[in-house]
Structure 1
């Protein structure tokens, strides 16, 4: 399925008017199916959908690692990602009972919003990142982001694992993180010393996705929410916002950032 389609529109340029073809990003309702049971639905852009399903289940702790996965497939007819895996039954029970609609665009759910009950480990990575290098990475953030360049209508996430990086693009910001994580994990990457960079705000569910996957640094060009900061501080995640030009706000985990 193509992630874009072309439609005819009327465009005004100052006093000039014309009919042109415009490229729009495609939006679908995607079902996530784990062991033949529907976990939930989300609005998504039809790219990297298998990675999206894997990243979502990892972020929710419904599966704990790549080795638990037996098969992943996308069914275009039913618009569903079907995953066969050894499921985390405790997390699945909590997910079914405690799920809430998250604040990101699109529509999805998470059970990982309670600061006291969040089932995650303290991040112990000793990796360090130079502030100037983070600024450089942010200045190049939208390079190699094909959908954004064509449509200007998607969020982006990049996860940097050593010399490799993985891109997720989607109409929903939380999907971009799951896509990038899913692509990295399916490629055998260890996320322990990785840096995750996102295009939008650092709300609680975005921060939780980094924490649940053991990522040590999360950076955005925009702001975090109060709960996002509290979660980052509790689990020792380095959280950085307003990465613009040479500026950077560090809300937690300053020890991983150096001049």
Structure 2
């Protein structure tokens, strides 16, 4: 898209990359469940992750089918799954993550965020193992949809969130923490700030919440036993 650049050298017309945002309706078992404003990629993963992160399904096996039709995502859930509420079960995992592994995951956002580098208009999310392996990555114009997509990609690949860390660029609101809790992550980290209700939910659900993770510092608001100090990094 064209815009007017006003700099120390005056005005000029330039072509600028702008992140694409589109509206998608989610239909589950013939009922309208949600409308997303999201990037138009990885829509199967978006639907899968949303169903898991909102507690409508507990595993990918409970999702019978996903069909993307223009601006509509049509899902069918097994009957025993349909109508389930989004309850949150306490996280009891004893898995730990080194401080360096958390920083490394945050560093990956700049390396992998191609849309962000071009437009500056996306959020990113990463799923990482305790060893520091990046198991899934996604970016989207919506911070919530970036989480839904990365969870969907991971689960469809057979990855168990109970053994992983979820890192994201967005603020850790109660909505974001709830998604992590329902998906089963023991730790959620962000380079951004936490919100008060997000911290309270993390405390109640047994999740480790790490915010402002920017080398050389990070801040652990709940569940500090899962964060191990590194000798370097």
Q: Could you tell me the TM-score, scaled by structure 1's length?
A: 0.82
Match of 1:218 among 177, 188, 206: 188
Q: CA deviation at 1:90?
A: 4.0
Match of 1:171 among 120, 141, 165: 141
Aligned-CA RMSD value:
1.6
1:70 has 2:64 as partner = yes
Q: CA deviation at 1:157?
A: 1.0
Partner of 1:159: 127
Partner of 1:3: none
Q: CA deviation at 1:73?
A: 2.2
Q: Could you tell me the TM-score, scaled by structure 2's length?
A: 0.91
Contact conserved, 2:105 with 2:134, CA < 8 A, in 1? no
Aligned length: 226
Contact conserved, 1:53 with 1:182, CA < 8 A, in 2? yes
1:54 has 2:48 as partner = yes
Q: CA deviation at 1:12?
A: 2.5
Deviations 1:97-149 (A, max 9, x none): xxxxxxxxxxxxxxx5xxxxxx2221121111111221232233221111111
Partner of 2:153: 183
Contact conserved, 1:72 with 1:81, CA < 8 A, in 2? yes
Partner of 1:141: 109
Q: Which runs of 5+ in 1 are unaligned?
A: 1-6, 95-111, 113-118
Deviations 1:140-183 (A, max 9, x none): 32211111111110111111246342122112111110010011
Q: CA deviation at 1:241?
A: 0.6
1:81 has 2:51 as partner = no
- After superposition, residues 1-259 of structure 1 pair within 5 angstroms as 7-76=1-70, 79-87=71-79, 88-91=81-84, 119-161=87-129, 163-259=133-229
Q: CA deviation at 1:36?
A: 2.5
